Chains A and B, each alone.
Chain A
C-alpha cells in the first residue's frame, strides 16, 4: 500500500504541476455545455423532452468528456514514462506491477473525482436542481471515480501497449466519436435519424451519460443506474485486464 501511495502521489503531483492537464478538462467540457445549452435550449419544448432545463440535461456530458480528457492525459503521461525509461527505473526497484498500475490509476481517480466535484459545483451555481438529492450527488462522485478508473485503465493499456504518447493522442478523436454518437445532445426517443438512434443505442457511452443524467433530472432510475454502472464496470474490468497484461509485458524482468 505504501508503494501504491507513492506512485499515486507522484501522479497527482505531476498533474498538479501541469496546468495544461488540469484546466482544459475542467473548462472545455463546461464551456461546451454552456454553449450547447444556449443553442439548444428550445429543444426542451419538444414533446417528450425529459426536463425543462437543458443545462440540467447537458450537465451529464462533461462527466464523460472530462473522463476522455483524463484518458488521453493519463495515457500520454504513462507513455512518456515508457519512452523516457522511467518505467525501467521503476522496474529496477522492489515495485511490483500491480502497485504501479494501482498507484497510477489512484492518481487518475483522485483527479477524476476533483473534476466531477467541479462540474457538480458549477451545475449547482448555475441553478441545476439534482433530483436525487445529496445521496445522488454522492453516487455521482462514486460514478465519476469509476468512470475515471475505467477510462484511465484504457489509457494505461494504450500507453503500455504502444509506448507512444503520439499514438494515444491520435486515438483521442476516435474516443470522441463515441461521445458524439450518443444521446449527448438529445434523448434517444427524440433522435429523428434512424442510423444515429441505432448507433446511439448500441453505444455504451450513451448509457453512461443516461446514468448520470438520471440522477440529475429523474431521481432514482434503477434501470439507468444498472445499465450505467454495468457498462462502466465491464469497461473497467476489461481495461484493467488489458492494462495489467500490457504492463506485465512492458515490465519484463527476470
Chain B
C-alpha cells in the first residue's frame, strides 16, 4: 500500500475507564483514493475508531498508521494531512460561513494570500455562496453539514474522515453530501473514511465496507461481495390479517429459513428457489396473502447474518444499554 494516502490498522483496541471496550482489536486497511464505509449501529465503536485515527484519542493497544504516520507518535504530522468532519458539526452559531473558513484556513496554516480564494472556492463547491455572510445559527442541518465538509477541506487534505456526515439530514441534503464526497474522490483522489449507520449510504458511496458491531469488525468487503456472501434472496409475505400470520409462517418455512420481521412473514429462500416457485405454491395451496415481495440481499441482511440482529434492532439495543447505564 502506498503510505501517502492510506490507512492501516492492526489489533486496535480502545478501552474507556470504567467503561466497555469500545474498539476491540480491529484490523483494517484503506487503500489510497478509496471510499471506505464503516457501517454499524450506534455504540458499535465507529466514532471511537475515528477519534483514534484522527489523533483525538490514544489507542489502548494496537497500531494505526494514517498516511504512513503512527497515530501515537506522529499526531501533528497526521493532523496536517487529514480533514475531519466529526459527528457533531461543532460550528460557532455566531460566526458566518466565511468567518469559519477564514479561521480554519488560518489555523491550518494556509498561506495568507490563498485564504480568500480557497474560501470562495469552497463556498461555491458546497453551494453556500449566498449564505456565506449569514450567521450559522440560521442554517439548516444540511447547510451546516456542507459547511463542516468545506471546513474539513480547507487545507486540501489527502485523507478525509467523515463521522456520520448525513445523520439527521433530509434525503435531498443527504444526496448533496454523497455527490460532494464522490466528487472529491474523483477529482482530488482523496481517501475517505466514512462512518455511517445508513445501509444505503454505505451501499451507494463506499468502495468497500467494514461492518462493526460491539467493537469488532464482523464483515469486510465490497458491498457486492458482502451481499454475495449471503447470496440468496428472501421472500416477504404480507398477511391479510394478523390471524393468518402463523399459518403463512408455517407454510413459508418449507421454502427456507425464517427471518425476524414484525411487518411481514419472511424467509431466506433455499438455493435454487425463486419468487415464481412461491407464487405457484401459494396459489396451489390456497394460502391467503395480501402481497408477496422478493428482496435481494442488502447490507442489513449481511449484518443480520453476521450478528444475528438487524441494524435497527442493534441500534435500539445500544440505546437501551445507554439508557440503563445512565439510570445506574
Contacts and interface: CB of A to CB of B under 8 A. Distances in A.
Nearest to B76: A94
11 contacts: A2-B112, A6-B106, A7-B103, A13-B99, A14-B92, A88-B86, A252-B56, A253-B79, A254-B58, A254-B71, A254-B73
A5 B135 CA distance: 21
B138 interface: no
A36 interface: no
Interface in B96-125: 99, 102-104, 106-109, 112
A5 B73 CA distance: 29
Contact of A93 (B88, B94, B102, B108): B108
Contacts, number: 74
Given A17-B94, A84-B90, A253-B79, A10 B103 contact: yes
A97 to B, nearest CB: 12
A17 B99 CA distance: 13
Interface in B30-69: 54-58
Nearest to A17: B94
Nearest to A86: B90
Contacts of A254: 55, 57-58, 71-73, 75
A95 B155 CA distance: 14
Interface of A: 2-3, 5-7, 9-10, 13-14, 17-18, 81, 84-86, 88-95, 252-254
B90 A14 contact: no
A175 B112 CA distance: 42
B94 A18 contact: yes
A94 B80 contact: yes
B107 A95 contact: yes
Contacts of B80: 94
Given A92-B79, A254-B73, 17 more contacts: A6-B106, A10-B103, A13-B94, A14-B94, A14-B95, A84-B91, A85-B86, A86-B90, A88-B56, A88-B90, A93-B108, A94-B79, A94-B80, A94-B108, A253-B55, A253-B56, A254-B75
B56 A91 contact: yes
A17 B133 CA distance: 13
Contacts of B55: 92, 253-254
A211 B5 CA distance: 60
B209 interface: no
Query: Which 4 A/B pairs are nearest by Cβ-Cβ distance?
Result: A85-B90, A93-B107, A254-B75, A6-B106
B95 A2 contact: no
Given A14-B92, A14-B95, A92 B106 contact: no
Contacts of B267: none
A90 B107 contact: yes
A94 B107 contact: yes
Nearest to A84: B90
A13 B95 contact: yes
Contacts of B112: 2
Contacts of A7: 103
Most buried by A among B55, B56, B73, B92: B92
A137 B102 CA distance: 36
A82 to B, nearest CB: 10
Nearest to A87: B90
B95 A10 contact: yes
